[in-house]
């Protein structure tokens, strides 16, 4: 028997999936702009603000379902997880905006040593891969796909610390380049963490099992 709550949950699911699509676009635009030296700050800021508004809508929808239908534990698990995922998607947008702002304020990578933009580009690709996995696994509730982020998340963490070590060893980079690039690789590392949180939420929604993929 189809419950009225089920219709509401379907609507909430659609809202969160849409957020994932916007979040992925926001990050791809921001990271691509930074690596290629394009100013994407205005467009990224608009998308980031859109994600903030969408988070509020998800929260209002979730609280409305709770207040109106008094969902059972399994339904509450889904609702609560979607609220957390919406927050993670909002953080994707915030870090994307931070990257674009740093690029505009501190300058592009063109004045950096050649290996720096290549390194950040490679790290950015891995992070975007994690983001795509987190979003696709949420849409399909594929727990094995969600768990696959673990390997890439470890690679991103390793790249973050390797980058810091390499900067110390090759200290010829300008102060401006050093500051901006360190901030960006830190933002990328944090985005990877949030992708892992989304993947953990997918497993919880699908199975009721709380796991840690970090």
Q: Give, in words, the CATH class of 4-207.
A: mainly alpha
pLDDT tens-digit profile of 129-158? 999 999 999 999 999 999 999 999 999 999
pLDDT tens-digit profile of 76-130? 999 999 999 999 999 999 999 999 998 888 766 767 788 888 899 999 999 999 9
User: In sequence order, which ranges of the chain are alpha helices (DSSP H)?
Assistant: 4-36, 41-69, 73-106, 115-140, 143-147, 149-169, 175-207
pTM reported for the whole predicted model: 0.92
Which is nearest to 197 in space by CA: 96, 92, 90, 88? 88
Report domain extents, the chain: 4-207
């Amino acid at each position: 028997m189809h419950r009225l709550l089920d219709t509401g949950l379907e609507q909430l699911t659609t809202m969160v999936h849409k957020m994932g699509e916007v979040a992925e676009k926001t990050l791809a635009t921001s990271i691509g702009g930074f690596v290629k030296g394009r100013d994407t700050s205005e467009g990224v800021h608009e998308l980031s603000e859109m994600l903030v508004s969408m988070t509020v809508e998800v929260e209002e929808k979730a609280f409305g379902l709770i207040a109106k239908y008094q969902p059972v534990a399994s339904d509450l698990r889904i609702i609560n997880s979607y609220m957390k995922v919406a927050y993670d998607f909002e953080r994707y947008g915030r870090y994307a905006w931070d990257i674009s702002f740093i690029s505009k304020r501190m300058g592009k990578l063109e004045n950096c040593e050649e290996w720096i933009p290549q390194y950040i580009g490679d790290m950015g690709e891995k992070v975007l891969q994690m983001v795509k996995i987190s979003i696709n696994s949420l849409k399909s509730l594929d727990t094995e796909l969600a768990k696959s982020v673990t390997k890439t998340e470890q690679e991103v963490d390793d790249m973050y610390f390797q980058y810091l070590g390499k900067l110390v060893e090759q200290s010829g980079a300008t102060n401006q380049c050093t500051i901006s690039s360190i901030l960006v690789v830190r933002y990328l590392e944090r985005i990877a963490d949030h992708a892992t949180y989304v993947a953990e939420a997918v497993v919880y929604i699908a199975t009721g099992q709380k796991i840690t993929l970090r």
